[in-house]
Chains A and B, each alone.
Chain A
């Protein structure tokens, strides 16, 4: 089957849309799907659902197949979340995780998924919850200050650099204390 969008490459991704009792199908190649796919995903009103997208991911040369531990074919090694019993194939089928522990269980397979869904991003850079976030904010502040420090040194603004260095030391001390307290 040829991609409906470019009419050039073979269609490897297949979307099905049900709306008003009518079924429409869309067959795209990987490249066109990548360009359009995210639009469908977010446009939930249009009914193109994420599970079709995730299933589509499996039909192509993906890191899933490159893994020696194939999460599908070797039955005995199927990844399963200990907390909620969801398996990786189940997740791909429904497109939803069962619980927060699933992220840990499936972690090594999630990078290509999040990369595709979030324009290449795989790491959170936003808000950190005050309590549960624990020392993450502290670590992030230290990293930012270290960056500032090297900038200041490059600009030869040594007086300011000394202040920043002291600030980093104080935070590192705080971090060490919090870590000790947490254990």
Chain B
């Protein structure tokens, strides 16, 4: 398969489309956790109880396909190939937990991959909406519509005091996790993250790297999300998050301006060195690739590099992960071979841009 066709098939709308503030906010995600009353939660589910959840979803889909979101396809985790599972995880459409550890795990996916509904994950139902750029309220609206559509035909576990009842007490109430993925190279380069992180935590939000392990954030990509789910309305949770995100955006913009003023040539050098690495390397590990991609994306945003679309970061961060590389290669690859494939895929992808 040609790389172009592969990318067209592999890329979801949030990766390829621009949204508000998408020079800094890569994507916005809303997740709602829901459970059915009377059926055991997935933590202690049996094959039968988990099957009952899938059956309820299937009946809902048959009773009335949602015209407002387009067709939703029901897929069972056990029935798809391991490599495909991995690719879905890398695209953030399903969780690693659903892919690897769920009993009778399944999911519904919309055609543009904006909506995914995980079944028998930690909760019976997890509705996820993923939008490009900063569009939390828009994503919340769609998630609420999906939620209402499901609720028409099934009995949610709901309590007057505790709201939507979830398997883990950390999600009870709204069951809402709102998060944004942000590219913050300016704050990292100017060493301000360590100052900002505790401040964000104090506001009741959580920041973590999405790629990479522990505290390191590969590609300078961070996820900011709400911590508590009980006590505030969904709209307030989203508004509070938006307020903090707006502040982070303005700090990142000033950091970039300061960098351009004080170390313009150093920054330009860094950007073009990284660009050179991506254009020329024959072997590249994911860590180095992520760091170079972040530099190049910053170079595009700041106008050093022209004629290359900024989506290259979103796309290549996803497409150079092991699952995608192996899918593109058409079979399993050893880690050494992945690094070679990764380098080749990045070179070709950049080539594609210059051909256009």
Contact = CB atoms under 8 A, between A and B. Distances in A.
A46 interface: yes
Interface residues of B, number: 50
Given A84-B44, A97-B169, A42 B158 contact: no
B208 A45 contact: yes
A122 interface: yes
A60 interface: no
Given A129-B158, A130-B148, A123 B230 contact: yes
A73 interface: no
B19 interface: no
Interface string A79-103: 0000110100000001111111101
A46 to B, nearest CB: 7
Interface string B121-148: 0100000000000000000000010011
B201 A39 contact: yes
A133 B40 CA distance: 21
Interface in B8-45: 35, 37-41, 43-44
Contacts of A124: 159-164, 172-174, 230-231
Interface in A117-139: 117-133, 136
Contact of B231 (A20, A101, A118): A118
Given A50-B168, A126-B176, A131 B152 contact: yes
B167 A97 contact: yes
A165 B161 CA distance: 27
Interface string B211-231: 001100000000001011111
A119 B228 contact: yes
B165 A103 contact: yes
Contacts of A86: 44
Nearest to B210: A45
Given A121-B231, A131-B151, A98 B170 contact: no
A155 to B, nearest CB: 26
A174 interface: no
A41 B41 CA distance: 20
Contact of B213 (A20, A41, A128): A20
A39 B227 CA distance: 8
B163 A94 contact: no
Contact of A132 (B158, B213, B228): B158
Contacts of A126: 163, 173-174, 176, 232-234, 237
Given A98-B43, A124-B173, A103 B227 contact: no
B206 interface: yes
Contacts of B165: 97, 100, 103
A122 B214 CA distance: 31
Contacts of B164: 124, 127, 129
B40 A84 contact: yes
Given A39-B206, A131-B152, A132-B158, A83 B230 contact: no
A38 B214 CA distance: 17
Tell me which of A86, A96, A97, A126 has the highest count of chain B C-beta atoms within 10 A of its own C-beta: A126
Tell me which of A110, A128, A129 has the highest count of chain B C-beta atoms within 10 A of its own C-beta: A129
Interface string A103-122: 11000001001100111111
B227 A98 contact: no
Interface in B312-345: none
B156 interface: yes
Contact of B151 (A110, A118, A129): A129
A150 interface: no
Contacts of B237: 126
A117 B206 contact: no
B30 to A, nearest CB: 12
B41 A117 contact: no
Nearest to B153: A131
Contacts of A7: none
Given A19-B213, A123-B162, A131-B151, 8 more contacts: A46-B208, A94-B43, A95-B169, A97-B166, A98-B40, A120-B231, A129-B158, A136-B160
26 contacts: A45-B213, A84-B40, A95-B168, A96-B41, A97-B165, A97-B166, A99-B41, A99-B44, A100-B41, A103-B159, A104-B159, A114-B172, A117-B228, A118-B173, A118-B228, A118-B231, A119-B231, A121-B228, A121-B230, A123-B231, A124-B161, A126-B234, A128-B158, A129-B151, A130-B151, A132-B155
Interface of B: 35, 37-41, 43-44, 122, 144, 147-148, 151-152, 155-170, 172-174, 176, 201, 204, 206, 208, 213-214, 225, 227-234, 237
Interface of A: 19-20, 38-39, 41-43, 45-46, 50, 83-84, 86, 94-101, 103-104, 110, 113-114, 117-133, 136
Leading 5 A-B pairs by shortest Cβ distance: A121-B231, A124-B163, A100-B157, A118-B230, A126-B174
